[in-house]
Amino acid sequence: MPKYIAHVKTWLGHENRMVEPGEEFETTFPDGMKLSGNIELIEPKPTRTRTRKTVTETEVETDQVDEADGESDTADTETPDTEAGEA
């Protein structure tokens, strides 16, 4: 569970409790909630958003899949024509 520190006296409404300044506490906030200056995440450290390198790797993987699909489609198309010509 993420660990936070309170900088000022703060009411945690979703847990129905108060935290005092300097108090370290663990909680999970509702989805979409943003932190303000009264509390700070101390553990785990925030994860980085996707970087350009990650996006590039994803694009490369997608291109490789597309090429493989194109080659297999071509092979499948040629096989029935060859069999039909032999029959």
| The total number of residues written for the chain in this structure | 87
How confident is the model over 31-85, as pLDDT tens digits? 888 888 999 999 876 566 666 565 555 555 555 555 555 554 545 555 555 555 5
Residue 4 has pLDDT above 60, yes or no: yes
What is the domain count for the chain?
A: 2
Domain identity same for 77 and 53: yes
Domain identity same for 37 and 59: no
Domain identity same for 28 and 14: yes
Domain identity same for 24 and 8: yes
Domain identity same for 36 and 62: no
Residue 30 has pLDDT above 80, yes or no: yes
Residue given tokens 């590039």 in the structure block: 56
Residue numbers of the domain that contains 27? 3-43
Which is nearest to 24 in space by CA: 41, 44, 36, 48?
Answer: 41
Domain identity same for 11 and 35: yes
Whether the CB-CB separation of 4 and 40 falls below 8 Å is answered with yes
How many angstroms separate the first and last alpha carbons of the chain?
67
Q: Name the helix (H) or strand (E) containing 70.
A: helix 52-86
Secondary structure (3-state) at 8: coil
Domain identity same for 7 and 39: yes
